[in-house]
């Protein structure tokens, strides 16, 4: 199965990362990946699958995440060498990101 290309670590730019993280859905995706790799169908984003795929592609092309295929499943994780390129960047962005509103099911309970 064809793997998607990822930029080389020296091709990752700060402006590209910040542009990718400027979207709230992408910021949610990245925040959820702090805990570790997830299947692409495991994200609780309130968007269509095609829109989620677009956001994952934008993050991959910016160099924020790794996207791999295993059989028919896709897995997404934070790119480990991003911390070497821009130490502390993701932690700082996530620390100041707006808190996520509770999901309706949690708010009712």
Mean residue pLDDT of the chain comes to 86
pLDDT at 101: 55
Q: What domains appear along the chain, each with residue ranges and CATH number?
A: 14-96 (1.10.10.10)
Q: Is residue 15 pLDDT above 90, yes or no?
A: yes
pLDDT at 29: 93
Which ranges in 1-109 belong to alpha helices (H)?
14-21, 24-33, 49-62, 82-85, 89-95, 104-108
Q: Which two tokens stand for residue 88?
A: 């502390």
List pLDDT tens digits, range 21-72: 999 999 999 999 999 999 988 888 888 888 999 999 999 999 999 999 888 8
List pLDDT tens digits, range 19-33: 999 999 999 999 999
- How many other CB atoms sit within 10 Å of the CB of residue 64? 23
């Amino acid at each position: 199965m064809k793997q998607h290309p990822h930029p080389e670590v020296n091709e990752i730019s700060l402006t590209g990362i910040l542009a990718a993280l400027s979207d709230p859905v992408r910021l949610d995706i990245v925040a959820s990946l702090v805990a570790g790799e997830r299947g692409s169908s495991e994200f609780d984003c309130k968007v269509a699958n095609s829109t989620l795929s677009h956001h994952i592609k934008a993050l991959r092309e910016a160099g924020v995440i790794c996207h791999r295929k295993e059989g028919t499943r896709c897995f997404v994780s934070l790119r480990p060498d991003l911390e070497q390129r821009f130490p502390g960047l993701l932690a700082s962005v996530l620390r100041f990101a707006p808190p996520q509103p509770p999901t309706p099911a949690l708010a009712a309970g």
